[in-house]
Structure formats: C-alpha cells, structure tokens
Amino acid sequence: MPLSPSRLRGLCGAVVLFLAAGAALAGGMPAPAGPAPAAPGPGILAVAGTAEALRPVASRRAEGEIVLRYPNGCFLLYTDEGALIGEGAACLRVQTEGAEAAIRPYLAARPALPDSSAAAYAGTGKVGASPVNGQLVRTRSGGYTLRIAGGEGVCTGTLRVEPDATRAQRIPISCNTGVRGTAYVIRDPWGIKVSLMLTNGLGGLVRLI
C-alpha cells in the first residue's frame, strides 16, 4: 500500500532525528582507556646508594687513632679507646650511629692501656666538682696522648707537638660519654697544666708532673 506524502515526511524526519542522536552519542564517548603506565617501585629514590654509603673502610694510624672513611666523603676519627675526636661535614647521623660496629674489632685488638707508672706525666685535678686523674702517655710513634678519667668518663686527645717543645698548645678532646671539648696543655716550671672546657658547660684543671 503506497504511503501518503504526509506519512512519508514523518518517517523521514524520524530517521533523521535517530541518526543525529546516534552521531552525537558517538562523538561524546571517550576513547577506550589503555593500561595505566607502571609506577616506579616504592622507595627507589630514597634508598638508592644508601647501602654503599653505610659501608666504611677502617684503618689505624701510626699514632693508634682509628679512621673510618665512607664512599660519600664522610670520615670519622677515633682515639684508640673509641672516643670520637673528628668528624667530616658530609657525615650522616646514621653513619655516626652505626660506626661502633666497624671500630669494635680495632678496640678489641688494641694493646692494654698503660698505667700511671708508664706515663710521661701523671696527676690529679677536678672537672666541675668531680675529682679526675690525668695522664700524658707517650705513644709508639713518639707522640703523646692525653687521658683524663673521672666524673665525665674517659676523655682523650692527641698532642701534635711534644709537650716539652712548646709552652702551650690547644687540642680537641672527646669523652666516651659523647661529650667533647678543648684542652689547653700548658708547660710551666712545675710540670704540665691542663685546662679543660667541655661542651656540657663544665670546665676543669688538671696538674701533671
């Protein structure tokens, strides 16, 4: 049965609207998403090189001091008793805290500490209100080690110049309690006078003869 002109126009209009709606829907649909790029593994940047930086190379100087050197440029200097007396600017806290295990074999192998009878100078004094004993001991290399033992533990330092060869010298000292300071070693007619200033605010004077 033939369609009337009016029905044919209505059918064509419906087809046009259907096609327009389909085109609009197709144009607004997002493209299918592909797989997301893999994220970098957790902590890679944070831990890169850390293991190497924590592996020091230890050695002992002729004067008996122990040196730890790290790949990142950090170095730590200890007396033969294990007191820290020098630290490089590149050192991280985790390196200084983990150094004890690295120097432990050197401390176990060190010779016995000399008593006062073997010291070039020995005497007593006070640091703060605490009495202390002091020794100035000649090392195998010909240098001298200052050792003050008392209320602040054992504090040590190394003289760079023979005490009889100069009137006064200043040396850094370090105690096994973590305290550091400065010692002024002064020669006078009565022997050796050691004046101490520590980072915990205490000072002291020790007379060695």
Q: pLDDT, tens digit, for every residue of 63-114? A: 667 888 888 888 888 876 677 777 888 888 888 877 877 887 877 665 544 4
* Residue whose pair of structure tokens reads 């797989």 in the numeric block: 35
Buried b (16+ CB within 10 A) or exposed e, 9-42: eeeeeeeeeeeeeeeeeeeeeeeeeeeeeeeeee
Cβ 208 vs Cβ 123: under 8 Å: yes
Contacts of 145 (CB under 8 A, 6+ apart): 63, 64, 79, 80, 136, 137, 139, 156, 157, 158, 159
Supply the pTM of this predicted model: 0.49
- Which pLDDT does position 58 carry in this prediction? 85
Q: Which of 110, 109, 83 is nearest to 96 (CA)?
A: 83
